[in-house]
């Protein structure tokens, strides 16, 4: 497993401490950068930001790491009106709670016993890839956003309640342009008297029918 060319090891994170003079092998670096941990799955131009969710706002556990979601915010009160808007679309979901979509990490030294390998596997954070809803109570969702969008999301989280909107595998429309909704307040419960309808003038009495003209005499 030794590297024969320096270029084979460039840009690969190390999986163990490497001392001067060590032989560079494929077991000492991660072939896939995602194996380096959570930072390895963040896109290079994005940042990871976490928002609070629950079973309702988190799509009842059907949103898994690796899926794409839209994010909408609902704010306001029933008295003043409910407002909602989609603030971000086509967002990569990196993790739910502390579960992320991480690939399996190599077990390391092949000389370890089977029991040691099981211990290594149990210590790895392997993502949930099934299609069933998560049975754990959801508290947070971590998404990948560009810095400007991450700041926008953090500011919007102070205005109201954030909702994840799960996107299909192949959405018919990539982006939705009608993103705002405004609810009309229903009043404070007090009934107000409606203005009375104006009275109409009495209808004129129908005129008596005129008699038919008499027939001519001969």
pLDDT in tens, 17-29: 888 988 888 888 8
Q: Please give the pLDDT value at position 6.
A: 82
Whether this prediction's pTM lies above 0.75 is answered by no
- Ranges of residues in the chain whose predicted pLDDT is under 50: 105-131, 189-205, 208, 211-212
Nearest residue to 2 (alpha-carbon basis) of 31, 30, 27? 27
CB of 151 closer than 8 Å to CB of 49: no
So where are the chain's domains? 1-31, 38-182
Question: Which residue bears the tokens 């018919």?
Answer: 172
Q: Please give the pLDDT value at position 17.
A: 86
Q: What is the pLDDT of residues 73-117, one digit of tens each?
A: 999 888 888 999 999 999 999 999 988 877 664 434 444 444 444
Q: Please give the pLDDT value at position 187.
A: 57
């Amino acid at each position: 497993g030794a590297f024969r060319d320096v270029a084979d090891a460039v840009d690969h994170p190390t999986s163990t401490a490497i001392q001067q003079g060590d032989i560079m092998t494929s077991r000492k670096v991660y072939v896939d950068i995602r194996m380096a941990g959570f930072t390895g799955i963040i896109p290079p131009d994005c940042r990871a930001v976490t928002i609070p969710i629950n079973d309702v706002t988190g799509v009842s556990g059907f949103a898994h790491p690796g899926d794409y979601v839209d994010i909408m915010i609902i704010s306001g009160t029933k008295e003043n009106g409910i407002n909602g808007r989609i603030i971000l679309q086509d967002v990569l979901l990196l993790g739910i709670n502390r579960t992320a979509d991480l690939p399996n990490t190599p077990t390391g030294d092949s000389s370890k016993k089977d029991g040691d390998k099981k211990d290594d596997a149990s210590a790895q954070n392997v993502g949930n890839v099934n299609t069933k809803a998560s049975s754990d109570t959801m508290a947070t969702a971590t998404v990948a956003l560009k810095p400007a969008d991450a700041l926008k999301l953090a500011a919007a989280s102070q205005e109201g309640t954030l909702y994840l909107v799960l996107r299909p595998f192949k959405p018919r429309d990539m982006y939705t342009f009608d993103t705002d909704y405004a609810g009309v307040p229903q009043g404070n419960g007090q009934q107000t008297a409606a203005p009375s309808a104006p009275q109409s003038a009495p209808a004129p009495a129908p005129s008596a029918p005129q008699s038919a003209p008499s027939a001519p005499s001969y």
